[in-house]
Structure 1
Amino acid sequence: MAGLNVSIAFFFLVVGVCQALRWISKRLLSPGAYGCLARELAGSLQLCTSCLELRMLLEIGPWSGGFGPDVVLTLLFVLFMAHGASFDGASSNPTVSLQEFLLLESNLAATAAKLLAQGAGVGLGWALTKLYWSCELTHFHFIQNLIASECSSSIRVSLHQAAFAEGTCSFLFHLLLLKLRQSHPMYRVPALAATVTFLTYTAGPFTGAFFNPALATATTFHCSGSSFWDYVQVYWLGPLAGMLAALLLYQGNIPRLFQKNLFYSQKSKYKMPKVRVAVHREADELWRKRKGEKSHPEPRA
């Protein structure tokens, strides 16, 4: 359990360093630069380093540490709770940033800046985690360094099944995200953390259940067993298709592309009953008749 304790301490250190980075950049940068660059970079760095360490524990822990996947899933839930509480509005996910762009919540320049910051964050997180593993503080890290050059692809089913699995995970995640985006963080953060944990438990054995193109690129694209185009189809196009399907189902349209609602008719919330309309018409006709009689009185004999 000593190795597991070192990993837990590493998680706390990563969250603390990234939180300090957010605190400093928020005071030095303008709100626009902080929201598009520093916040996304810190969030992606935090997410990537945590997920790489969790992936290492999931692969090596059961036979080297004697603990099962339930320990890793519990850590995953706790970490995503911490991420949701500390990200300060960052998505750290390209499909979420593209969703905000399609919803007219972000312009093209801000979206491009977020995507670049996310790529830089996961790249920096991958490099720092490799450096941390090279210190070989535990036997987990020693074994990881031995097998790192021979990692295999996370795609363990056919290409179409893998793309469908990643797309389905992305669809469910984005559908819940759209439903809860106006909710209080007290309810939104645990719900999203539980959903990510469930999807990882369900689809993890087939594709790794990333449904985050930036995270998947840093984690598994360098592994042998699948071509670059296979990875693109599964980990880029699959989550993107899932996000678009969730947006269409929830909104009925894509505001950035077209305004016409394809699924839901726009009806007025307030309708006047037909009986009441008829009564109003009869009263109006009676009032006009009386007014006409008063304006044209009959001559006296």
Structure 2
Amino acid sequence: MAGLNVSIAFVFLVVGVCQVLRRISKWLLSPGAYGCLARELAGSLQLCMSCLELRMLVDIGPWGGGFGLDVVLTLLFLLFVVHGVSFDGASANPTVSLQEFLLHESDLAGTAAKLLAQGAGTGLGWALTRLYWSWELTHFHLIQNLIASECSSSIHTSLHHAAFVEGTCSFFFHLVLCKLQQSPLMYRVPVLAATVTFLTYTAGPFTGAFFNPALATASTFHCSGSSFWDYVQVYWLGPLAGMLAALLLYQGNIPRLFQKNLLYSQKSKYRIPKAKAAAQVDGDKPCRKKKEEKSNSEPRA
């Protein structure tokens, strides 16, 4: 279990360093630059390094460390709880940033800056994690270095099925995210962490269950077994289609593209119950009757 403890310590070290980066950049930069660049860079760096380490445990742990999938899923749940608390509003996910753009919550320049920061953060996270693995602090890292040059694709099913799996994971993730958007942090974070854990457990054997284009690019695009276009279809277009479907189902439209609601009829925001409306009509009858009697009793010229 020594190797597992080292990996857990590494994850907490990464979270601590990224938290320091967030505090320093928040103090030095303007709110706009912090929100679009520094916060997303730190969040993507933290997510990439911790998920790569956890992925290494998934691949090697069952036969190299003697622990099962239950340990990894528990770590994954706790990891995303920590991410949700420490991210300070960052998404570290390109499809979430695009969703904010489609909902008019972010402009084009801000969205482009977020996407660039997410790409830079995951790229830097991949390089730093590979450097950390090269130190071979545990037998896990020794094995990882031996098999790193021969890594295989995470797509273990047909191409269309893999794209469908990633799209479905993205669909449910974004649907839950939309539903909990205004919920308190203490409810939103564990529910999202449980959703990610469940989707990973269900779809992991087929595609690795990334449903995050930036994370998938850093984790598996360099592996052999699938072409670049195959990876694009599964890990970019699949999650994007899932996000659009979830947004359309939840909103009834995509505000940035068209205003008309395609799925739900527009109803009045303020509705009067039928019983109350009937009572108001009955209550108005005596007043109307008095007015009519008064008008009839007035002498005519």
Match of residue 265 from structure 2: 265
Code of the aligned partner of 2:240: L
Larger radius of gyration: 1
Whether 1:289 aligns to 2:254 is no
Which has the higher mean CA deviation after the structures are superposed, 265-274 or 119-128?
265-274
Match of residue 58 from structure 1: 58
For residues 181-221 of structure 1, the C-alpha deviation after alignment (integer angstroms, 9 at most, x for no partner) is 11111111011111111110110000000000000000000
Match of residue 173 from structure 1: 173
For residues 212-265 of structure 1, the C-alpha deviation after alignment (integer angstroms, 9 at most, x for no partner) is 000000000011111111111100011011111111111111111111111111
CA distance in 2, matches of 1:58, 1:214: 20
Whether 1:73 aligns to 2:76 is no
Structure 1: segments with no counterpart, 5+ residues: none
Code of the aligned partner of 1:196: V
**Pairing 1:11-90 to 2, within 5 Å after superposition:** 11-90=11-90
Change (3 A) 1:88 1:290: same
TM-score w.r.t. structure 1 length?
A: 0.95
Match of residue 106 from structure 2: 106
The RMSD of aligned alpha carbons is 1.5
Give the superposition deviation at 1:297.
4.9
Give the superposition deviation at 1:74.
1.0
TM-score w.r.t. structure 2 length?
A: 0.95
CA distance in 1, matches of 2:18, 2:132: 16
Code of the aligned partner of 1:289: E
Give the superposition deviation at 1:65.
1.0
For residues 20-51 of structure 1, the C-alpha deviation after alignment (integer angstroms, 9 at most, x for no partner) is 00010000000000000000000000000001
Code of the aligned partner of 1:49: M
CA distance in 1, matches of 2:59, 2:127: 20
Give the superposition deviation at 1:67.
1.0
Number of aligned positions between the proteins: 298
Structure 2: segments with no counterpart, 5+ residues: none
Give the superposition deviation at 1:280.
5.9
CA distance in 2, matches of 1:266, 1:233: 36
CA distance in 2, matches of 1:282, 1:214: 67
CA distance in 1, matches of 2:84, 2:234: 26
CA distance in 1, matches of 2:208, 2:300: 90
Change (3 A) 1:194 1:278: closer
CA distance in 1, matches of 2:93, 2:273: 47
CA distance in 2, matches of 1:39, 1:248: 28
Whether 1:163 aligns to 2:163 is yes
CA distance in 1, matches of 2:184, 2:282: 46
CA distance in 2, matches of 1:278, 1:7: 71
The alignment partner of 1:150 has SS state of coil
**Which segments of structure 1 move beyond 6 Å, counting only runs of 4 or more?**
none
CA distance in 2, matches of 1:39, 1:198: 27
Whether 1:279 aligns to 2:282 is yes
Code of the aligned partner of 1:86: S
The alignment partner of 2:7 has SS state of helix
Percent identical among aligned pairs is 79
